[in-house]
């Protein structure tokens, strides 16, 4: 059995018998490996499971989940699961003081907190006293790269540096056991304003290729000492995309125009291989790419129904046939007739 499956089974066993009438605090048996095992080692005492009001739980500002992206749609899988089968994995929270609106803050499990609040049911959570650094150590698990997007991770690491959990990027990279390049890449993505990232389809849909391109652009803006200006202009693109209901492809066209200002080589290279097909009102219809001399790739900006695809292919067949015929006829009408080849 894999360690991941074992951790899930342990968490499920811990929750057995904890219902609406549970006592305020229920001590849990030793948990072994996994995040619960690490938590037990840190605290040096048995774990305590409680049911808490999710509306009285705030989110730890140094955790990795991008809260702006949480809504009933993005958390629908967990809402459905908890609604049908109950909460099978406890959250981890720590007590807070001096906040009239909260009794705890969630260290791990902000999606579970959102789902339980949405369903109007208690959040099952392990309560532990943790420092910021211990909480960071606890949540930086082996599956963090799968659990969070590169953008989310970059935002989290950026806040850690701002709060001086680590003195330098080098110290953070060494503690995380990641390369300086990977750390720099994710920190660069974190400088992109969220409305712009959202207009590109969301932080969890940024391809690795586009992410690298954006990180290079951020690095160039930083080197030119124009990051504040560029961030404002990217935010403006995101806002325009929201107002005009642009899709991700149309937003990328607007970004490419800005990118060409800082990276002129990108403009000339892009011009050679790809063109945008726009409607009369400025909406992106398709992109036409020519990766080499014998291939032409047409990508429509949105999905087409079967009858729409059939009609588009028919129109392209007609156009290409007429175009090819015209080119052939032109080639056969030189100023002078061709001489017959001597035998």
Compare 64 and 151 and report the one with higher pLDDT: 151
- What is the CATH number for 101? 3.90.1530.10
Mean pLDDT, rounded, for 228-235: 94
Q: Quick check: is 229 in a domain?
A: no
Q: Quick check: is 309 in a domain?
A: no
Q: How far is CA 39 from CA 36, 67, 230, in A?
A: 5, 24, 42
Q: Quick check: is 6 in a domain?
A: yes
Residue 203 has pLDDT above 80, yes or no: yes
Q: Quick check: is 150 in a domain?
A: no
| Contacts (Cβ under 8 Å, ≥6 apart) of 212 | 185
Q: Quick check: is 85 in a domain?
A: yes
DSSP per position, 164-192: TSSSSHHHHHHHHT--HHHHHHHHHHTTS
What does the pLDDT look like over 291-325, one tens digit per residue?
666 677 787 877 778 888 888 888 888 887 787 77
Q: What is the DSSP letter of 258?
A: H
Mean pLDDT for the chain overall: 78
Which residue segment(s) compose the domain that 26 sits in? Answer: 1-143
What does the pLDDT look like over 204-231, one tens digit per residue?
788 888 889 999 999 999 999 999 999 9
72 contacts 39 by C-beta, under 8 angstroms? no
Question: Rounded to whole angstroms, how far apart are CA atoms 291 and 104?
Answer: 55
Compare 268 and 138 and report the one with higher pLDDT: 138
Question: What pLDDT band is residue 142 in, cutting at 50, 70 and 90?
Answer: very low
Task: Supply 318's token pair.
Answer: 């007609």
Q: Which 3 state secondary structure label does DSSP give 274?
A: strand
Mean pLDDT, rounded, for 7-20: 41
- Reading across the β-sheet that carries 57-59, which strands appear in turn? 26-27, 48-52, 123-127, 91-95, 104-108, 57-59
Residue 73 has pLDDT above 50, yes or no: yes
Residue 237 has pLDDT above 90, yes or no: yes
- pTM for the model stands at 0.57
Q: Quick check: is 327 in a domain?
A: no
pLDDT at 31: 52
Q: Quick check: is 306 in a domain?
A: no
Count of domains observed in the chain: 1
Q: Quick check: is 103 in a domain?
A: yes
- Reading across the β-sheet that carries 295-300, which strands appear in turn? 274-278, 284-292, 295-300
């Amino acid at each position: 059995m894999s360690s991941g499956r074992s951790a899930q089974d342990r968490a499920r066993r811990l929750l057995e018998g904890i219902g609406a009438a549970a006592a305020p605090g229920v001590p849990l048996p030793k948990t072994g490996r996994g995040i619960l095992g690490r938590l037990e080692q840190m605290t040096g005492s048995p774990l305590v499971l409680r049911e808490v009001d999710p509306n009285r739980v705030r989110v730890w500002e140094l955790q990795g989940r991008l809260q702006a992206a949480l809504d009933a749609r993005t958390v629908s899988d967990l809402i459905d699961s908890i609604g049908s089968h109950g909460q099978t994995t406890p959250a981890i929270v720590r007590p807070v003081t001096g906040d009239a609106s909260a009794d705890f803050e969630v260290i791990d499990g902000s999606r579970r907190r959102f789902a339980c609040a949405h369903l109007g049911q208690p959040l099952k959570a392990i309560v532990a006293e943790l420092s910021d650094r211990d909480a960071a150590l606890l949540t930086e698990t082996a599956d963090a790269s799968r659990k969070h997007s590169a953008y989310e991770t970059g935002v989290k690491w950026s806040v850690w540096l701002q709060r001086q959990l680590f003195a330098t990027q080098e110290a953070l990279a060494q503690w995380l056991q990641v390369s300086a390049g990977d750390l720099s890449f994710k920190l660069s993505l974190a400088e992109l304003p969220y409305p712009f990232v959202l207009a590109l389809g969301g932080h969890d849909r940024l391809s690795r290729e586009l992410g690298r391109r954006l990180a290079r652009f951020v690095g160039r803006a930083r080197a030119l000492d124009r990051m504040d200006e560029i961030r404002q202009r990217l935010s403006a693109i995101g806002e325009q995309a929201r107002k005009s209901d642009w899709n991700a492809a149309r937003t990328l066209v607007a970004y490419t125009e800005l990118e060409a200002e800082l990276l002129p080589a990108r403009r000339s290279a892009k011009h050679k291989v790809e063109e945008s097909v726009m409607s009369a009102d400025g909406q992106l219809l398709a992109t036409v790419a020519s990766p080499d001399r014998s291939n032409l790739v047409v990508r429509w900006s949105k999905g087409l129904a079967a009858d729409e695809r059939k009609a588009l292919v028919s129109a392209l067949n007609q156009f290409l046939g007429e175009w090819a015929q015209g080119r052939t006829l032109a080639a056969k009408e030189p100023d002078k007739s061709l001489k017959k080849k001597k035998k």
